[in-house]
Structure 1
Amino acid sequence: MTRVGFLYPGHSAQDDYQAFAEMIGGGVELPVVHTLMREDAHRVDALLDVGGPDVLAEGADRLAEMGVDAAVWACTSGSFVFGWDGARDQVAGVRAHARAPASSTSFAFVHALRQLRVHDVAIAATYPDDVSAKFVEFLSAAGVNVVSLASHGVPTAAEVGVLEPDGVVDFVVSNDHSAATAVLVPDTALHSAALVEPLEALLGKPVLTANQVSVWEGLRLAGAARVEKGPGTLFRSGTDLVDTALHVH
Structure 2
Amino acid sequence: MELPVPFTAGILYPGYSAEDDYPALEGLLGGDIRLPLVHTLMREDAHRVDALLDIGSDDVLADGARQLLEHGVQSVIWACTSGSFVFGPQGAREQVEKLQAVTGLPTSSTSFAFVHAAAALGLRRVAVAATYPDDVATSFVEFLQAAGLEVVRLSSRGIITAAEVGTLGRDAVLEFAAANDDDRADALLMPDTALHTAAWLGELEDRLGKPVLTANQVSAWEALRLAGDRAAHDGLGTLFRKGTGGERNASLE
What TM-score does the superposition give when structure 1 sets the normalisation length?
0.96
**Shift, 1:246, TM fit:** 9.2
Local SS of the residue matching 1:233: helix
Distance in 2 separating the partners of 1:230 and 1:247: 25
Q: Which residue in the other structure is 2:46 paired with?
A: 41
1:85 to 66, 74, 90: 90
Distance in 2 separating the partners of 1:227 and 1:101: 20
Contact residue 102 and residue 248 of structure 1 kept, 8 A: no
Q: Which residue in the other structure is 2:3 paired with?
A: none
Q: Letter of the 2:206 partner, please give it.
A: A
Distance in 2 separating the partners of 1:132 and 1:222: 30
The two structures, once aligned, show a CA RMSD in angstroms of: 1.8
1:73 to 48, 53, 78: 78
Q: Letter of the 2:244 partner, please give it.
A: T
Local SS of the residue matching 1:19: helix
Q: Which residue in the other structure is 1:210 paired with?
A: 215
**Shift, 1:137, TM fit:** 0.6
Cα distance 1:110–1:22, how it changes in 2: closer, same or farther (>3 A)? same
Q: Deviations over 1:91-141 (max 9, x none)?
A: 112212122100000000000000000010000000000000000010011
1:13 to 12, 18, 24: 18
Distance in 1 separating the partners of 2:118 and 2:99: 23
Q: Letter of the 1:6 partner, please give it.
A: I
Local SS of the residue matching 2:252: coil
Q: Which residue in the other structure is 1:27 paired with?
A: 32
Q: Letter of the 1:248 partner, please give it.
A: L
Distance in 1 separating the partners of 2:235 and 2:52: 29
Give the alignment of 1:40-189 within 5 angstroms: 40-189=45-194
Contact residue 123 and residue 148 of structure 1 kept, 8 A: yes
**Shift, 1:225, TM fit:** 3.6
Counting aligned pairs with the same residue, the percent is: 60
The yes-or-no answer on 1:219 pairing with 2:234 is no
1:198 to 179, 183, 203: 203
Contact residue 111 and residue 246 of structure 1 kept, 8 A: no
What TM-score does the superposition give when structure 2 sets the normalisation length?
0.94
The yes-or-no answer on 1:248 pairing with 2:252 is yes
Q: Which residue in the other structure is 1:232 paired with?
A: 237
**Shift, 1:159, TM fit:** 0.2
**Shift, 1:64, TM fit:** 2.0
Distance in 2 separating the partners of 1:63 and 1:89: 20
Q: Unpaired runs of 5+ in structure 1?
A: none
Which contiguous aligned blocks of 4+ residues in structure 1 show a shift greater than 6 angstroms? none
Cα distance 1:64–1:99, how it changes in 2: closer, same or farther (>3 A)? farther
Contact residue 76 and residue 107 of structure 2 kept, 8 A: yes
Distance in 2 separating the partners of 1:91 and 1:212: 19
Contact residue 106 and residue 250 of structure 2 kept, 8 A: no
**Shift, 1:230, TM fit:** 5.2
Local SS of the residue matching 1:147: strand
Deviates more, 1:230-239 or 1:127-136: 230-239
